[in-house]
């Protein structure tokens, strides 16, 4: 059984079918990328997965449970973490404190205190370990506002990891990154993939083809192909959909 199972999803806005009989499955531990030309329906899919919008028809099953109409906050409790559009970094707190707060959120109310999260070893130590994992170990004590754009992205990954989610929903992690920062992000994601499943929505084809175990191609709200990077590269329908865009 798949960890995430999307079946026959439909979502229309007036006459526009943003999601059209969309079926897609993500296995435990898999890095599954969703690509598609502009307006293909990627944002609408992410909204339905995170519970910000509900589909007109179809089902979304996560870890064996129907979550199609479950409110957003309850999805995160089930083990789905979404990064980049929901996460907000607290800029005037230290880098370490941002992650310590995320660790605290996962651990629930076992720490009720007025002291800063960082002074509690049970929060601080895992937070430091997460910062090491994303390459920000040396930045732990800096104010978050002092980090570069790329480092903010890495910090958001650390915060998503702190949730210990079974599925991480990464919505365009490469957006706005320069060449070097994008390469660093690819390495970071390569390092964390495997433990939890990742659904990666991304325009950067180099990143997608470097990282994905499988790729699904969305066109007019419908998945026209799912396969390994090699299968997708050689797929005639995919090439046709991307004609004029120098994608795969």
Q: In the bound complex, what is the minimum distance in angstroms from residue 205's beta carbon to ligand ATP? A: 13
24-52 burial code (b ≥16 CB/10 A, e <16): bbbeeebbbbbbbbeebbbbbbbbbbbbe
Candidates 31-39, 72-80, 97-105, 227-235; binding stretch for ligand ATP (CB under 6 A): 31-39
Measured between alpha carbons, how far is 248 from 239 in angstroms, rounded to an integer?
Answer: 7
- Paired tokens of 102: 């995320």
Q: Residue 222 CB, nearest distance to ligand ATP (Å)?
A: 11
Q: Which is nearer to ligand ATP, 42 or 152 (CB)?
A: 42
Q: Nearest approach, Cβ of 97 to ligand ATP (angstroms)?
A: 33
What's the CA gap between 23 and 8, in Å, rounded? 5
Size, binding site for ligand ATP by CB under 6 A: 11
Task: Enumerate residues 34-93 that contact ligand ATP by CB under 6 A.
Answer: 36, 38-44
**Which residues have CB under 8 Å from 26's CB, separation 6+?**
2, 3, 4, 32, 167, 197, 199
Q: Does 175 bind ligand ATP (CB under 6 A)?
A: no
18 binds ligand ATP (CB under 6 A): yes
Q: Using CB under 6 A as the criterion, which residues of the chain lie in contact with ligand ATP when the complex forms?
A: 13, 16, 18, 36, 38-44
């Amino acid at each position: 059984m798949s960890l995430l199972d999307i079946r026959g999803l439909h979502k229309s806005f007036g006459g526009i079918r943003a999601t059209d009989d969309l079926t897609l499955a993500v296995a435990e531990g898999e890095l599954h990328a969703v690509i598609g030309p502009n307006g293909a329906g990627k944002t609408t899919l992410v909204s339905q997965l995170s519970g910000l919008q509900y589909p007109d028809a179809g089902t979304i099953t996560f870890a064996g449970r129907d979550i199609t109409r479950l409110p957003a906050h309850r999805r995160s409790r089930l083990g789905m973490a979404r990064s980049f559009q929901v996460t907000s970094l607290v800029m005037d707190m230290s880098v370490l404190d941002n992650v310590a707060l995320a660790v605290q959120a996962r651990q629930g109310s076992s720490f009720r205190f007025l002291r800063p999260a960082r002074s509690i070893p049970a929060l601080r130590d895992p937070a430091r370990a997460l910062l090491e994992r994303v390459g920000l170990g040396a930045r732990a004590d800096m104010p978050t506002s002092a980090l570069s754009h790329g480092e903010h992205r890495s910090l958001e990954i650390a915060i998503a990891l702190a949730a210990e989610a079974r599925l991480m929903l990464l919505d365009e992690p490469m957006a706005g990154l320069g060449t070097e920062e994008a390469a660093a992000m690819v390495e970071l994601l390569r390092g964390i993939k495997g433990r939890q499943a990742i659904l990666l929505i991304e325009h950067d084809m180099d990143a997608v083809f470097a990282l994905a175990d499988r790729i699904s191609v969305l066109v007019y709200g419908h998945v026209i192909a799912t396969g390994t990077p090699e299968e997708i590269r050689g797929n005639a329908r995919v090439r046709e959909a991307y004609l004029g865009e120098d994608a795969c």
